[in-house]
Amino acid sequence: MGPKEAGRENMNQEVRNVKKKWWIALCSSLLLLTSLAITAKGATVFWEPMTYYNSQTWEMANGYSNGNMFNCTWRANNATFTNDGKLRLALTSPSYNKFDCAEYRSKFTAGYGLYEVNMKPAKNVGIVSSFFTYTGPTDGTPWDEIDIEFLGKDTTKVQFNYFTNGVGGNEKVIDLGFDASQSYHTYAFDWQPDSITWYVDGVAKHRATKNIPKTPGKIMMNIWNGTGVDSWLGSYNGANPLYAYYDWVRYTSN
């Protein structure tokens, strides 16, 4: 290759590099736009694919434990993103009989409306994979919570639950007709002032109408192993690493 040809090739390579950087920047901008709230027919819609860590919208619990029935410590590095664009929450063991888990939550709070997640929970006795809204004393509010929980001991079922000012006892276990740990499905709840209706793949599965929570909360996802709650979760056997996967999250206000 002569000097002219080499120079021309170097110039072409520089152009390709510029185009590549421009394309990456454009894609990143489009991803950011997907997470912005938009208004349609009076409703606020928040939708975000779980392809990367958007620190403007989400945060990772790190360096502490909820205690009581939670037998692990939240670690930010246990929330990662897969090459095919999924949020992966991990339950791991850094040393014998010690466990790290993961929690991912919104920086904003949301109230009445439709909450949806496309996810695949972990399968193993003694653990929980979840999607829920929460607010409580650490936020200076009453404890209000609405749950979609997968008990790893039997992922052919899903548990729905809610707390109003700390009062729970509203568990409802639903047979799915499939193993949730084997493929992605969409789970949702529609929270209204007088009711909560839970859905699986767009089909209503359960409705609650008594003592409905009213305090806006954060949108949250986590995976953790239990202790002292064997009658509920089964006895955790120490198996790890275990993973729950989340494809996308959407919230549509009233």
Catalytic annotation, residues? 145, 149
212 in Cβ contact with 196 (< 8 Å): yes
The greatest distance separating any two alpha carbons of the chain, rounded to the nearest whole angstrom, comes to 82
d(CA 249, CA 186): 9
**149 - beta bridge partners?**
130, 159
Q: What tokens were used for 28?
A: 């990143």
Whole-Å CA distances, 80 to 51, 89, 90: 9, 7, 8
152 phi, psi to nearest 5 deg: -60, -15
Phi-psi label, residue 41: left if phi above 0, alpha if psi -120 to 50, beta otherwise: left
